[in-house]
Amino acid sequence: MELPKIFIGKGEVKGFLFNQVSSNKEAYIYKVDNKGVFYYEVFRRVKTPICIDFEKRIYSDTEFKEVYPKSKQFGISAWSFSSIEKATEKFNTLKSID
Protein backbone atom coordinates (compact mmCIF):
# COMPACT_ATOMS: atom_id res chain seq x y z
CA MET A 1 0.00 0.00 0.00
CA GLU A 2 1.54 3.32 -1.11
CA LEU A 3 1.50 6.54 0.87
CA PRO A 4 -1.40 8.92 0.16
CA LYS A 5 -0.81 11.80 -2.25
CA ILE A 6 -2.08 14.38 0.29
CA PHE A 7 -2.45 14.03 4.06
CA ILE A 8 -2.38 15.97 7.32
CA GLY A 9 0.36 15.06 9.78
CA LYS A 10 -0.08 13.50 13.22
CA GLY A 11 2.21 13.24 16.23
CA GLU A 12 5.44 15.22 15.79
CA VAL A 13 4.06 16.87 12.65
CA LYS A 14 0.46 17.37 13.77
CA GLY A 15 -1.36 19.80 11.50
CA PHE A 16 1.32 19.92 8.80
CA LEU A 17 -0.01 19.45 5.25
CA PHE A 18 1.92 16.94 3.13
CA ASN A 19 1.50 16.99 -0.66
CA GLN A 20 3.31 14.43 -2.85
CA VAL A 21 5.33 16.12 -5.58
CA SER A 22 7.01 13.09 -7.14
CA SER A 23 7.63 9.37 -6.66
CA ASN A 24 9.47 6.50 -8.27
CA LYS A 25 10.24 2.89 -7.32
CA GLU A 26 12.80 4.01 -4.76
CA ALA A 27 11.69 7.32 -3.24
CA TYR A 28 9.22 10.15 -2.69
CA ILE A 29 9.27 13.95 -2.60
CA TYR A 30 6.66 15.68 -0.44
CA LYS A 31 6.06 19.41 -0.16
CA VAL A 32 5.39 20.20 3.49
CA ASP A 33 3.29 23.18 4.62
CA ASN A 34 3.89 24.04 8.28
CA LYS A 35 1.52 26.98 8.81
CA GLY A 36 2.72 28.77 5.68
CA VAL A 37 6.38 27.72 5.94
CA PHE A 38 7.16 25.42 3.01
CA TYR A 39 9.95 22.89 2.55
CA TYR A 40 10.49 19.58 0.76
CA GLU A 41 11.18 16.13 2.19
CA VAL A 42 12.86 13.43 0.13
CA PHE A 43 13.01 9.88 1.44
CA ARG A 44 13.47 6.28 0.43
CA ARG A 45 10.39 4.05 0.29
CA VAL A 46 10.14 1.85 3.38
CA LYS A 47 7.64 -0.98 3.77
CA THR A 48 6.50 -2.44 7.07
CA PRO A 49 4.21 -5.42 7.77
CA ILE A 50 0.57 -4.61 8.50
CA CYS A 51 -0.48 -5.34 12.08
CA ILE A 52 -3.32 -7.88 12.11
CA ASP A 53 -3.71 -8.14 15.92
CA PHE A 54 -2.68 -5.10 17.98
CA GLU A 55 -3.19 -6.74 21.39
CA LYS A 56 -0.99 -9.74 20.57
CA ARG A 57 1.34 -7.73 18.30
CA ILE A 58 0.92 -10.12 15.38
CA TYR A 59 2.04 -8.85 11.97
CA SER A 60 1.24 -10.09 8.49
CA ASP A 61 3.83 -12.07 6.54
CA THR A 62 2.25 -11.14 3.22
CA GLU A 63 0.69 -7.66 3.53
CA PHE A 64 2.81 -4.52 3.80
CA LYS A 65 2.32 -0.76 3.83
CA GLU A 66 4.67 2.11 3.14
CA VAL A 67 5.45 4.46 6.01
CA TYR A 68 6.57 8.06 6.26
CA PRO A 69 9.97 8.37 7.96
CA LYS A 70 10.26 9.29 11.64
CA SER A 71 12.44 12.25 12.61
CA LYS A 72 15.38 9.96 13.53
CA GLN A 73 15.60 8.82 9.87
CA PHE A 74 16.45 12.30 8.58
CA GLY A 75 20.05 12.43 7.45
CA ILE A 76 20.07 8.63 6.96
CA SER A 77 17.28 7.70 4.54
CA ALA A 78 15.32 10.97 4.53
CA TRP A 79 16.34 14.57 3.86
CA SER A 80 14.76 18.02 4.09
CA PHE A 81 15.37 20.87 1.62
CA SER A 82 14.19 24.46 1.34
CA SER A 83 13.96 24.34 -2.48
CA ILE A 84 12.37 21.98 -4.96
CA GLU A 85 15.57 22.12 -7.03
CA LYS A 86 17.72 20.70 -4.21
CA ALA A 87 15.02 18.17 -3.31
CA THR A 88 14.81 17.00 -6.93
CA GLU A 89 18.58 16.73 -7.13
CA LYS A 90 18.62 14.38 -4.12
CA PHE A 91 15.57 12.48 -5.38
CA ASN A 92 17.33 11.83 -8.68
CA THR A 93 20.26 10.20 -6.85
CA LEU A 94 17.81 7.70 -5.33
CA LYS A 95 16.33 6.49 -8.62
CA SER A 96 16.81 2.85 -9.41
CA ILE A 97 18.66 1.95 -12.54
CA ASP A 98 16.46 -0.28 -14.73
Q: With respect to residue 1, please indicate whether it lies within any of the assigned structural domains.
A: no
Q: With respect to residue 25, please indicate whether it lies within any of the assigned structural domains.
A: yes
Q: With respect to residue 38, please indicate whether it lies within any of the assigned structural domains.
A: yes
Statement: residue 98 has pLDDT above 70: no
| pLDDT tens digit sequence for 40-85 | 999 999 888 888 888 988 888 888 788 889 999 999 999 999 999 9
Q: With respect to residue 68, please indicate whether it lies within any of the assigned structural domains.
A: yes
Give the structural domain span for 25. 6-93
Q: Tally the domains of the chain.
A: 1
For every residue of 48-89, DSSP letters joined together read EEEEEETTTTEEEEEEEEE-PPPGGGBTTTEEEESSHHHHHH
Q: With respect to residue 32, please indicate whether it lies within any of the assigned structural domains.
A: yes
What's the whole-number mean pLDDT along residues 79-94? Answer: 96
